[in-house]
Structure 1
Amino acid sequence: MVAIINPGRSLRRAFQYNENKVEASAAAILSMQNFPFGVESDRYLRLKMLEKVAALRPDVKVNSVHISLNFSPNEQLSDEKMERISRDYMERIGFGDQPYLVYRHNDAGHDHCHIVTTNVTMNADRISLHHLGILKSEPARKELERVYGLVKAEDHKKDLLSIKPVDVRKVIYGKIDTKRAIGNVLAEVLGNFKYTSLPELNAVLNLYNVHAGRGKEGSRLFQFGGLQYHVLNADGDPIGTPIKASLFPDRPTLKNLEKLFVKHDVARQPFKKRLQTIISFTLKSQCPKSLQELKGLLNKDNIKVIPRLSKEGVIYGITYIDLKTKCVFNGSALGKQFSAKAILESIHLKPDAGAPKAIISVHKSILNPPQGISNSANTASHSDAILQNYNNEKSIMELLTQYEFAISSVPYEWRKKKRKRKKKIG
């Protein structure tokens, strides 16, 4: 079991979050404790009760406590057992006599519930929230795991990091809720991986049969900066109905993701050297003869190589995913020698002498070169035939100015602001 405590200044915000889930059929009220009325009462009557108790101490600004209890995906808890666990947990952390609401959510890949209460008591006392997690929640969590035979938090976190791809067959036949399946992947990828652009994020999501899309250029979704998530089939094509980003609990909208891009660019820098070293060593020591062979060698070091293809199936870039450090880098972000052009040249797939040297485009068929094709003239002629499609590819200027290169490596907060000149009087 994993317990997360979120203190806040707005009871209404925590209350509305859960009540909106109830209205959307994504949650249900599991229990109400220490209220003078039952579950069938009006929703705003429940909110007024909490606010009146909090108003007994107007000097307490942080008077909202929003707790979530999360259980392993391998555990299927009944309503009665989850209600007992939540009540026992609140007793152990000193909130047993407080009015609180317990909501069971069903919009994620694991059983969990949310608890909304206040730290102001009926006697106008204040329950201290200082180190509540360390001093009371952690001992309570460990004891509840023992008493109820729950999966331990340490083991639960290991399970969460081993994300399973969305089962496309189940989505097709309606055996699993699409939103729940996508949400389970998003909950782990968005919080654990470091990515700096939508294409980098998609490189990871695609491993789990999920894709984030902005819609077609010129569409209403694209014009207003919208984002939606699809399930992908075995061929990488979207299937089923896409889900809007705003409908997921953490609201992974484009606007919110862009805030993370700059932070992640700073956070991933310490892990850059590891990736550069492993790729360089593999190229020099193993001398792979194809991109597929390189992918297999790097996979042993928990590094995924994802070629970026055009609509015509032509490689114009490479993305690297380090599963050990959870960092995602485009080849150009690692350095010139790790770009698609340099990597393909290192395995002897060179462009035509007259072709521009800014970028190399190679058809996806050479990911697995046919038997008999080696690093001889056959490979060169094979590449020459493919490079006739080069004119259909994007120019170097278009590639450099597309969305994934738009994020600066310098965080916004660190940029110097221009000083305003003072006007001289007289």
Structure 2
Amino acid sequence: MVAIIKTGSSVHNVFNYNENKVKQGVAQCIAEGNYPVDLEQMNISMRLNRLLKQNALNENVKRNSVHISLNFDPSESTLSREKLIAIAHTYMEKIGFGEQPYLVYQHHDAAHPHIHLVSIKVKPDGSRIDMHNIGRNQSETARKEIEKSFGLVEAQGRKSNSDSTLKPIAASKVSYGRIQSKKAISAVLDGVLSSYKYTSLSELNAVLQLYNVMADRGNENSRVFKTNGLVYRILDTEGKPIGVPIKASDFYNKPTLKFLEQKFASNNNVNTGMKNRVKNAVDLALFAKNIRFSQLTKLLEKEGINIVCRKNTEGLIYGITYVDHTTKCVFNGSALGKQYSAKAIQERCSLIGSKKPHFDTDSSLKTHADKISDANSKDLFQDNNVTDTGVLGKIVDVLTQPQFDANYIPNQLKGKRKKKKRKGQSDNQ
């Protein structure tokens, strides 16, 4: 079982998300906790008002809604409704929400069985539930205990499973109706928006494009652009928008332009070391002579870095963005320095002119590279085609050797030098 906990500032949004799933026929409200009447005797308004009235006891709690999903292994598709309800009640009790009002929804819109729990952070006495590290502490303990007591498939160590990684949308498999497109795009947004550090719409789109999704403001004359709107679209294999565009405000997370602009601002202070990782990876890959652009792309992919190109109508590259999946950082080429811009990279790859590859003079890489002997260089680069996957590893080993002088003594440990007496001088002078 895998538990995902999210908090928000709108109970209406969380409640409506689940109720809309019910209207679409892909979910059911199967249980309640701490409501005055049984579920069968309540209508939609009664379910919502119970949450709103208790939240009103403390209006200082801004992020007052709680939305939890409990996800089970695909092999557990036969879990009964009664067992799911029992799991939900047990989980809420163990994480400290046993006295809170909550609703349980069973969803049928994914390949694996899962339930959603909707609750609030304000207690009956008006105090606030502290959820700091609840996922790592209370929820993780509850998960392990529930897996054992209910005989569920254990989730420990399953994160590395390739099936759980984010995959591009297969546009050919998407039915271009609104619900199917929204579901596919939502899965990508959930995996990208909160994980990657991007500072502009173009940088965000560099990541989304890898998963066949695009955030689109429209052209400057469009109504969407003029009203600061934003839509999300699915891209075909050629990178062209297809299907039905979905408004940002229609998604549960509300990934609107205003939301993204806040993310841009918060992501601005990127650690210099994260930039240097990309710059050094590019420099190491270009250490060989006459390396082609396609070779550079493949070498960087092995380091967990994707190059996303922006092309004009004639197919010429005019911009480059680097997506580092290791640090989850995204950089336009110009943000790393002139030598990493689209034009410079093409020159260094011998696509434009015949300039030899060179290094950033500000980088310590040049200092280390000069220490590589000619013999090592010939051994590493016997031909112009860098096809040996071990080449980068060899270079890294050489470049990262620590510089150490056995005779070096820190100033703090040096004794004071004794002054020599000049001939004919006494100590009393």
Please indicate, yes or no, whether the TM-score normalized by the shorter chain is above 0.5: yes
Distance change in 2, residues 1:332/1:75 (3 Å): farther
Match of 2:170 in 1: 167
CA 1:69–1:336 in structure 2 vs 1: closer, same or farther (change >3 Å)? same
Q: 1:195 to 1:129 in 2, by over 3 A?
A: closer
Q: CA, structure 1 residues 160+274, in 2 after alignment: closer, same or farther (shift >3 Å)?
A: farther
Which of 124, 128, 141 is residue 139 of structure 1 equivalent to?
A: 141
Aligned match for 1:237, one of 237, 240, 244: 240
- What are the within-5 Å matches in structure 2 for residues 71-90 of structure 1? 71=71, 74=74, 77=77, 80=81, 81-90=83-92
Query: How many Å apart are 1:217 and its aligned residue?
Result: 2.6
Tell me which amino acid in the other structure corresponds to 1:68.
I
**1:389-411 alpha-carbon deviations (Å, 9 max, x no partner):** xxxxxxxxxxxxxxxxxxxxxxx
* Residues 106-141 of structure 1, C-alpha deviations (whole Å, 9 max, x = no match): 6778644132256535xx596964668265332112
Summarize the Cα distance change of 1:215–1:28 in structure 2 as closer, same or farther, 3 Å threshold: farther
- SS of 1:307's partner is strand
Q: 1:64 to 1:295 in 2, by over 3 A?
A: closer
- Write the deviation string for residues 348-405 of structure 1: whole angstroms up to 9, x where unpaired: 23369xxxxxxxxxxxxxxxxxxxxxx9xxxxxxxxxxxxxxxxxxxxxxxxxxxxxx
Q: Which moved more, 1:325-334 or 1:155-164?
A: 155-164
1:6-25 to 2 correspondences below 5 Å = 15=15, 18-19=18-19, 22=22
Contact residue 176 and residue 243 of structure 2 kept, 8 A? no
Q: Which residue of 2 aligns with 1:68?
A: 68
Cα displacement string for residues 8-65 of structure 1 (whole angstroms, at most 9, x for unaligned residues)? 787667545644665576754231234313345222223444456667x779968956
- Three-state SS of the structure 1 residue aligned to 2:320 is strand
Counterpart CA distance in 1 for 2:98 and 2:129 is 14
What residue identity is the alignment partner of 2:194?
G
Structure number with the higher helix fraction is 1
Give me the whole-angstrom Cα distance separating, in 1, the residues matched to 2:187 and 2:259. Answer: 18
Q: How many residues align?
A: 349
Structure 1 position 46 matched with structure 2 position 47: yes
Distance 1:136 1:342, change over 3 A: closer
CA RMSD of aligned residues (A): 3.6
Deviation at 1:84, TM superposition (A): 2.9
What's the CA shift string for 1:62-87, capped at 9, x where partnerless?
89562402426746645714333212
Secondary structure at the residue paired with 2:334?
Answer: helix
Cross-structure match for 2:3: 3
CA gap of 1:264–1:217, structure 2 versus 1, over 3 A, is same
Q: Tell me the TM-score normalized by structure 1.
A: 0.70
Alpha-carbon distance, 1:166 to partner: 0.8
Distance 1:199 1:66 in 2: 32
SS of equivalent residue, structure 1 residue 212: strand
2-structure distance, mates of 1:61, 1:261: 26
Of 284, 291, 306, which aligns to 2:293? 291
Moved more, 111-120 or 222-231: 111-120
**Aligned ranges 1:21-420 → 2 under 5 Å:** 22=22, 27-35=27-35, 36-39=37-40, 41-50=42-51, 64=64, 66-71=66-71, 74=74, 77=77, 80=81, 81-96=83-98, 98-105=100-107, 111-117=114-120, 120=123, 129=130, 133=134, 136-146=138-148, 147-152=150-155, 155-156=158-159, 162-172=165-175, 177-284=180-287, 286-350=288-352
Report the secondary structure of 1:211's partner residue.
Answer: strand
In 2, the alpha carbon distance for the partners of 1:175 and 1:244 equals 11
Larger radius of gyration: 2
Residues 315-364 of structure 1, C-alpha deviations (whole Å, 9 max, x = no match): 11111111111111111000011111111111223369xxxxxxxxxxxx
Report the secondary structure of 1:280's partner residue: helix
Partners of 1:224 and 1:58 lie apart in 2 by 35
Give, in whole Å, the separation in 1 of the partners of 2:209 and 2:128: 46
Deviation at 1:255, TM superposition (A): 1.4
Q: Give the secondary-structure state (helix, strand or coil) at the position aligned to 1:142.
A: helix
Partner-residue secondary structure (3-state), 1:191: coil
Change (3 A) 1:144 1:226: same
Q: Deviations over 1:82-107 (max 9, x none)?
A: 33321221233344454421234567
